[in-house]
Amino acid sequence: YVSLYALFVSFMYLLTLRDVNAAMFSNFFIVDSFSIIFKAVFLSVAILVTIASLEFIKDERNQGEYYSLLLFATLGMMIVASAGDLITIYVGLELASISTYALVAFKRDERSIEAAMKYFIPSAFFSGLILFGISLMYGAVGTTSLHPPYAGLIGAELTPIAMLAMAFLFAGFGFKMAAVPFQMWVADTYEGAPTPISAFLAAGSKKVAFAAIFRIVMFFMLAFRMEFGIILGVVSIITMTFGNVVALSQKNVKRMLAYSSIAQAGYILVGLAVATKMGYVGQLGLASSMLHIVVHAFMKAGAFIGVAAVAYMLIGDKIDDYIGLSKRAPITAFCMLAFLVSLTGIVPFGGFVSKFLLFVAAVKAGGFMTLLAISLALNSTLSAYYYGRLIKNMYFMPYELAEKVKEPQAFLIPMVICLVILVILGIYPMPFFDYTMGAAATLMH
Could you give the CA distance from residue 396 to residue 398 in angstroms, rounded to a whole number? Answer: 7
Same domain? For 131 and 184 the reply is yes
List of residues 6+ apart from 322 with CB closer than 8 A:
253, 310, 315, 316, 390, 393, 394
Are the C-beta atoms of 93 and 208 separated by less than 8 Å?
A: yes
Which pLDDT value is given to residue 290? 92
What tens digit of pLDDT does each residue of 147-174 get? 655 445 555 566 788 788 888 988 999 9
Same domain? For 204 and 261 the reply is no
Which pLDDT value is given to residue 151? 47
Average pLDDT over residues 422-429: 91
Among 226, 257, 274, give the residue marking a domain's end.
Answer: 226
Same domain? For 239 and 302 the reply is yes
Same domain? For 85 and 12 the reply is yes
Same domain? For 145 and 161 the reply is yes
Domain extent for 106: 1-226
Among 210, 226, 242, give the residue marking a domain's end.
Answer: 226
Average pLDDT over residues 255-269: 91
Could you give the CA distance from residue 28 to residue 440 in angstroms, rounded to a whole number? Answer: 20
Q: Is the pLDDT reported for residue 255 higher than 80? A: yes
Same domain? For 163 and 175 the reply is yes
Same domain? For 9 and 27 the reply is yes
Structural domain count of the chain: 2
Among 168, 198, 226, give the residue marking a domain's end.
Answer: 226
Q: What one-character DSSP code corresponds to residue 202? A: I
Q: Per-residue confidence at 42, pLDDT binned at 50, 70, 90?
A: very high
Same domain? For 184 and 329 the reply is no
What tens digit of pLDDT does each residue of 63-97 get? 888 889 999 999 999 999 988 888 999 999 999 99
Could you give the CA distance from residue 367 to residue 369 in angstroms, rounded to a whole number? Answer: 5
Distances from the Cα of 201 to the Cα of 133, 152, 257, angstroms: 24, 36, 12
Q: Is the pLDDT reported for residue 132 higher than 80? A: yes
Same domain? For 336 and 321 the reply is yes
Same domain? For 305 and 181 the reply is no
- Mean pLDDT for the chain overall: 86
Same domain? For 191 and 239 the reply is no
Per DSSP, the three-state class of 83 is strand
Same domain? For 159 and 35 the reply is yes
Other Cβ atoms within 10 Å of 113 Cβ, number: 15
Which pLDDT value is given to residue 226? 61
List of residues 6+ apart from 397 with CB closer than 8 A:
323, 324
